[in-house]
Amino acid sequence: MSLKGRDFLTLKELSAEEVHLILARAADMKGRQAGDGILAGRLVALLFSKPSTRTRVSFEAGVRQLGGSTIFLDQESVQVGRGETLADTGRVLSLYTDALVVRTYRQSDLDELAGAASVPVINALTDDYHPCQILADLLTFREIWGSLAGLRLAYVGDGNNVANTLVVGCAITGIELRLACPRGYEVAEERLMEARSRWSAKIAATVDPLEAVEGADAIYTDTWASMGQEDEREARLRIFRPYQVNTELLRAADRSAKVFHCLPAHRGEEISAEVMDGPQSAVWQQAENRLHAQKGLLSLLMP
């Protein structure tokens, strides 16, 4: 089984065996901070239209730990903003680099660039999907529970790019997923239908957070207003207030349930500080695993 030369755009392009291969490689690499040399002489371009802390640093650190180097290109550093097509950008960057890590807004833009590039393209976040985050989440679940199949995960909050990709990741690996989102902010029904038909996914959707977390092994949340939604912030704060992950909600889950947040967190909004810093929080383990999951991914994709 080889992933070399492949793109990583949504997580849907991988089989269950390929996902587990990446997780196994990531677990093997964890703790080996330098000296592997797998990417020696390789250059990875980070093409970011959105600001980033964890994604940029974890990719830059991961590439360097594997012996490679990176070049960071923000929106002001490339000619796309002055009329060059994404396809032409992908073709040109493929002549100079060995992989492209792209963080942008529209999934269609990423797809256009990947269609023209001749090197692996990795989705570092779009408005629709965040597959690198979900790889790190699956790695964290694997560390805590061992087996993924049969795990009961409740996602509480906005039906955003993280929720969309959790649907895929859980479906592929056999995790039972319960989504609790306010009306009008749900994961699109067609995404749930695809997961159920393609992978026989066990997915339930509700507007009641207590119903979703009842007996859950894990509770996952994310910010209520993502980048680009700042003008909706006040309205979202009112709508999402009952969806805060706090001590009361945690009590409704399994007694040993763990809490997850992909960060950045707005303490006192989608998650209380008490829960985020409490003994059942796996947030920092989850954040660290961004580095290891991406190292595993890069080592397998790079030709």
Under a CB-based contact definition with an 8 Å cutoff, are residues 299 and 25 in contact? yes
Distance CA 130, CA 26 (A): 18
Under a CB-based contact definition with an 8 Å cutoff, are residues 128 and 107 in contact? yes
Spot the catalytic one: 178, 261, 290, 292. Answer: 290
Q: In the structure encoding, which two tokens stand for residue 132, read together?
A: 């690198």
Spot the catalytic one: 137, 191, 222, 261. Answer: 222
65 catalytic? Reply is no
Element (H, E) at 74: strand 69-74
Output phi, psi for 15, to 5 deg.
Answer: -85, 170
Distances (CA, A) of 303 to 43, 110, 125, 221: 12, 20, 22, 35
290 catalytic? Reply is yes
170 catalytic? Reply is no
Residue 37's Cβ-count burial label (10 Å; 0-12, 13-18, 19+) is exposed
* Alpha-helical segments (H) within the chain: 16-29, 54-65, 86-96, 107-116, 131-145, 161-173, 189-199, 209-213, 233-240, 247-251, 273-276, 283-301
Spot the catalytic one: 42, 98, 127, 133. Answer: 133
Residue 1's Cβ-count burial label (10 Å; 0-12, 13-18, 19+) is exposed
SS3 of 48, please?
strand
Residue 17, strand partner residues: none
Spot the catalytic one: 130, 178, 191, 292. Answer: 130
79 catalytic? Reply is no
Spot the catalytic one: 25, 42, 56, 103. Answer: 103
Distance CA 82, CA 271 (A): 41
133 catalytic? Reply is yes
Spot the catalytic one: 132, 170, 181, 262. Answer: 262
Cβ atoms < 10 Å from Cβ of 285: 15
261 catalytic? Reply is no
Distance CA 300, CA 3 (A): 6
Catalytic residue positions?
A: 103, 130, 133, 222, 262, 290
